[in-house]
Amino acid sequence: MMTKPRIIELLSPAKNADTAIAAITHGADAVYIGPSNFGARASAGNSLDDIARAVDFAHSYDARVYATVNTILFDNELRDAERLIRDLFRINVDALIVQDMGILRLDIPPIALHASTQCDTRTPEKARFLEEVGFSQVVLARELSVDEIREVRKATTVPLECFIHGALCVSYSGRCHASCALRGRSANRGECAQLCRLPYNLTDRHGNTLFEQKHLLSLRDFNQADRLEALLDAGASSLKIEGRLKDIPYVKNVTAYYNSLLNDICERHPERYQRRAVGKVHLNFKPDVAKSFNRGFTHYFFDGRDAAKRMSSPDTPKSIGEPLGKVKSVRGNSIIVDTKKDVANGDGIIFFNHKGSLSGFRANSVSGKAITPFEKVTVAPGTMLYRNFDKVFNDTLADGKSAVRSIDVAIRCWKVDGGIATEITDERGTNAVVRHDIDLQPAKSDQQEARLKVFSKLGSTPYHLRSLILGDTADVFIPASTLTTIRRDAVEALVRATKLRHHYDFRRQENKDATYTSATLTYADNVANHLARQFYADHGVKHIEEAMETCNNPKTGDILMTTRFCLRREYGRCLRTPEGQKWQSDLMLTSGNISMSVEFDCRNCQMLLRHM
């Protein structure tokens, strides 16, 4: 028996409605966007009207909009969260991305629920539990290997969502309490202080400095471009780009890049995969993720722990960009660069100076391979230059015409009593028929060209005319103004039909007998309200500690970060190798007034950073 191809989606971030629209225009099948509250990005909230605008645009392409309601909630916020969720359901948001299990005990409509990355889903058992209690989609931890993802797939049936690109948190998501404990700003409440991007000293118990002022916890950016097919084969269905704080040019470029890759996979395997949304994307630029913000790239643990290569970016947490070339010489104020790339006035160029610190300049003028900065810069021959801002490329992305997404339609006309009927059908078979009463007069000339001219004017709509069949109306004359009315009415009818046909998932039924994966929860499990406590108790948990955010009393020894990333493995000092003895135990990370002890849990191959 033939099986249907699996629906896959490219899921892009949206800081606001304009970014959401840009993402869909450049190839996204879905976007995730934060409402005014509880969205885990305090600086990326949106009004209901703005989210509704994004929903209206998305549904025209059969794309989806997911709202992030993924902070942990306090008791005094539960009613507000309940009202917000009802409002999001009313404006036809497709699903909520949530972390707090208290939401499952609110009086809310049956909107689909997706388990956020903040739920820290690393195991088949955790993913299966989330499916059993009603989640329609589960976001997996970024740290998982392809084999681990495959094992989760075997244990579940709901779509699995996996990150493919963007910034990486060094801690397991939902398990980072450093910002809360050390700065009073909770990452689980959308106020991360980004302590992982700071420069740290690493010292041993004897006071020896192993690293000084290096960004030891700052990871490179995730890039799974050459692992997409393996990821899909392992069972992922929703491929997620990180970056709800990123600007529109970033979202356009990265979305377009992965859209092209996914289209290629779907074209090669139409029997296996089908994109969720409809419409072809036509670009006027060539996507290149190296030209957008990045700290260098990594596959992280996708290929397994042993295959993992350098993951961190210890010299800077800032964007490095693309390699430009080495400095050949310096002549006066001009820097001669050995590069094959075209450099333009206004390009941003950076390099690491003789102290290992990041420096940079803006190109004021360019003549061949000679670049003159706006201000005099000291840079030695042999220094590698990087371009972290390509002005020409970014100007193209800033243009509102960087892409067009259109849905092919066919129009067919035929005579009816007293007038004409017009059917418009899109490439997925959705159709609409409109009828207009017209006094049909014989045509004196061929009508194909005249009708085609009017019906092709679809520029402000999602559609592109693929074919026109006049049928038995070919011999009648219809004024251009009437044809314009027919076209407009047909398009409006098709838009309505598309939105009516839009498929919504609804919240799955909760299995009351499902048992949680542990009988004990600590502060690290983020239980911050009585409904979340009730939920876990209903599912077999016997001992539940309050979240750190509610007790607001971090103690010495509390685990602030749990990471699969390991400083010993990163720098060839794993304790399972002879080289590991070169570093003493009892290591400590310090940055200003921040101090964390470093513990290596070799049994579970993870690193723990504790409060001191």
The closest of 512, 524, 502 to 112, measured between CA atoms, is: 502
Q: What is the dihedral of CA 484, 486, 487, 492, to 10 degrees?
A: 120
DSSP β-ladder status, 419-426 and 403-416 = antiparallel
The structure tokens listed for 45 are 């909230």
The structure tokens listed for 606 are 């993870």
Are 231 and 149 in contact, with CB atoms under 8 Å apart? yes
The closest of 84, 103, 2 to 45, measured between CA atoms, is: 84
Residues facing residue 273 across a β-bridge: 6
Residue 474's region, left for phi above 0, alpha for psi from -120 to 50, else beta, is: alpha
Burial of 581 (0-12, 13-18, 19+ CB in 10 A): exposed
Annotated domain spans of the chain: 6-168+220-277+285-291, 315-395, 406-501
Residue 608 contacts by C-beta under 8 Å, 6 or more apart in sequence?
Answer: 559, 561, 562, 563, 598, 599, 600, 601
pLDDT at 400: 87
Instruction: From residue 497, give the alpha-carbon distance in Å to each of 61, 233, 434.
Output: 12, 34, 12
What is the Cβ-side half-sphere exposure of residue 280, based on CA atoms within 13 angstroms? 11
Residue 533, phi then psi, degrees to nearest 5: -60, -45
Tell me which of 1.10.3260.10, 2.40.10.170, 1.10.10.1100, 3.30.590.10 is the CATH number of domain 315-395: 2.40.10.170
Q: What is the dihedral of CA 111, 167, 317, 356, to 10 degrees?
A: 180
Tell me which of 3.40.50.970, 3.30.70.270, 1.10.3720.10, 3.20.20.70 is the CATH number of domain 6-168+220-277+285-291: 3.20.20.70
The amino acid that residue 342 corresponds to is D
Average pLDDT per block of 10 residues along the chain, 612 residues long: 89 98 99 87 82 97 97 97 98 98 98 98 99 98 98 98 98 95 92 96 94 97 98 99 95 99 98 97 97 96 86 95 94 92 95 90 92 91 95 93 97 95 96 95 89 94 96 93 96 94 94 98 96 98 95 88 97 92 91 96 95 94
pLDDT at 37: 85
Give me the sign of the Cα torsion angle 463, 465, 466, 470: positive
| DSSP conformation class of 136 | S
pTM of the model: 0.95
Residues facing residue 413 across a β-bridge: 422
pLDDT at 355: 84
